[in-house]
Amino acid sequence: MEILQPILTSLIGLIGVLIGLFINEYFRRRNRVELYSKEIFQKRLSVYEKLYEKIYKISPIAHDIMENPKYSEEERHEIWSSVVFDMAKFMDSNELYLNENITVHCVSALIGVEDVYYMEDPEEKKGEIENFTKSIANARKMIKAETGLEALDKLFSSISKAKHESEIISYYQKLKRELKK
């Protein structure tokens, strides 16, 4: 029995050291994930800010391409192709940080814009312009949701309880409700 006592004590000590090592490794990895999460979030936010800005700048160019008669077919195609290729290049170079669905939506929304000007049916043309405008608005909304900014807006509004009221805001809210229908 006396011989087993030191072996048992050593074994318990060894098991304690091993458990300590496993616990230490667990917390070390968890801290590393939290550290990287913060850095990745900042990088993703930066990429989405740039994407939002690109979309904002693309919209007036698209409307010009779809409605302005001063361009030849070749000029229209050349201008819009450079916009689409620029967006595709941005998406490809930031693929690691962008949601795949948002990437597909944003690039797909740009396809065919240069052909809208040549549509003969005015209602069809108007519909395509409206579809493009809605797609761009949806892209902006998706970006706000993906970055968490939409949720933060709701949180801040619930905390501050601010109620902004004016005739302009009422009209805007009315239009917004109608668009959702």
pLDDT in tens, the chain (181 residues): 677 777 777 777 778 777 877 777 776 776 665 666 778 888 999 999 999 999 999 999 999 999 999 999 999 999 999 999 999 999 999 999 999 999 999 999 999 999 999 999 999 999 999 999 999 999 999 999 988 877 666 665 667 676 777 888 788 888 888 877 6
What per-residue confidence (pLDDT) applies to 158?
66
Residue keyed to tokens 């290729």: 85
How far apart are alpha carbons 67 and 40 in whole angstroms?
41
How far apart are alpha carbons 160 and 145 in whole angstroms?
21
What per-residue confidence (pLDDT) applies to 181?
67
Q: At residue 100, what is the residue type?
A: E
Q: 51: closest CA among 90, 3, 2?
A: 90
Helix (H) or strand (E) holding 130: helix 122-147
User: What b/e readout covers 102-113, taking b as 16+ CB neighbours within 10 angstroms?
Assistant: bbeebbebbeeb
Helix (H) or strand (E) holding 119: none
How far apart are alpha carbons 88 and 106 in whole angstroms?
9
Nearby residues of 101 by Cβ (< 8 Å), 6 or more positions away: 142
Task: Show the tokens assigned to 29.
Answer: 């990895």
